[in-house]
Structure 1
């Protein structure tokens, strides 16, 4: 656990360091209405709590007093958990075999709601509250034999329903930007889809030069983690964008 907390602190510091190097980037803890964490994040932090996934478990820490964090819950997850995403009072846990939904209206006591199951594959997930968007990637580390973007109807959290699957190339992370979805495809670049009609998503942009892995939305900007560093873009209302800064490493 000490090594885990050290990793979390170092990860947070790396975000802050990036923020300090570019005056246009701001960093704040997430609130309950909008998640600014990446879609392949391993932990989530807000003003009072820290949620951490470790292989087959979810841990909850009270960080009201950050120097004396308290473990409030450790939930056994009978699957291999890969990613965590929060929107409102719901945690979305991406696993190798599906997405699990947990109610955290009591932040100290996550309670299982339901799941959306699929074949084995890597599984980032984001949501706008009405729909969840999750990608499945097939490679040596993820298993399975499919590369798709699934759209899941979340209007009934007790019974999530698949709306449509879209075939995509080597999908990694993703982020919502109003009526648009930005999809990372690693060495295959980045694509942008108009999802105003989720049953008929339309590709509106493809960028082979941006080898995107994951995203964090920061207001009207998106911070992109790429294969070679970090790129910050300012996004327009039609999902076109301009590059504000780049940090290579």
Structure 2
């Protein structure tokens, strides 16, 4: 019997953790955002209230899950080729694609409408959002950007969601997923480790720590906990405002 590949194993574990966080979350965050569960920035599905969103390579699938045992398809939105990730924030859906970031108005959950598209050089493109800013990682030297070696972290002003504006871009090594909470931005750098950035000024992220021994692919941030996936497995960390990080548990890849 063939061994399960590391990323497949990690993906299965990550799905379980997303379900766990969804079912256990009863914090006041729900009053701020309609998002029911938490997924990483590389997620291809999300839940807000009674609605499930799934992105395929070229479309957004919307399901009503008011009856969890009998999901009902509401609509399919054809977008473009190269759709990769989805991140819900308040009344919007931010969809990462190889050619940019699509922003959908989500006031009518069963029928989101396209507001605009923020275009960048073709690249792999996960995105997270906090307040008036979206943080996007662009990774070079891969299939979706194999003719460009440089990778970057972009900061996009979305105070007007219909007219996003790039306000800052800085070089990164090999960014994959990312997460944001309060004054900290967390960036997964694959085999190059895990970075913690200070976003006290949300327009100018500053690297505070680089954990070179923590290979990381994606991260979920919730209640001062980091759930990180990487080539070596799935790890749960506790962090505080002084950037102290404590390993709580791990599920290694065998």
For Structure 1 versus Structure 2, the TM-score category normalised by the shorter chain is 0.7 to 0.9
Which position in structure 2 is the counterpart of 1:111?
113
Deviations 1:213-244 (A, max 9, x none): 10112212110011121110111013331111
Identify which of 88, 96, 99 aligns with 2:98.
96
User: Structure 1 residue 78 and structure 2 residue 80: aligned?
Assistant: yes
Distance 2:16 2:161 in 1: 32
Identify which of 227, 238, 241 aligns with 2:242.
238
Over 3 Å counting, the alpha-carbon distance change for 1:130 and 1:228 in structure 2 is same
Distance 1:186 1:179 in 2: 23
Deviations 1:34-55 (A, max 9, x none): 6721000010023411100011
For normalisation by structure 1, the TM-score amounts to 0.88
Over 3 Å counting, the alpha-carbon distance change for 1:86 and 1:59 in structure 2 is same
Q: Size of the alignment, in residue pairs?
A: 236
Deviations 1:185-224 (A, max 9, x none): 0000011110111343221101011101101122121100
Which position in structure 1 is the counterpart of 2:133?
131
User: Structure 1 residue 140 and structure 2 residue 106: aligned?
Assistant: no
User: Structure 1 residue 203 and structure 2 residue 207: aligned?
Assistant: yes
- In structure 1, stretches of 5+ residues that fail to align are 1-6, 20-24
Over 3 Å counting, the alpha-carbon distance change for 1:33 and 1:240 in structure 2 is farther
Which position in structure 2 is the counterpart of 1:15?
16
Identify which of 167, 192, 202 aligns with 2:196.
192
- In structure 2, stretches of 5+ residues that fail to align are 1-7
Runs of 4+ in 1 over 3 A off after TM superposition: 10-14, 16-19, 25-31
For normalisation by structure 2, the TM-score amounts to 0.86
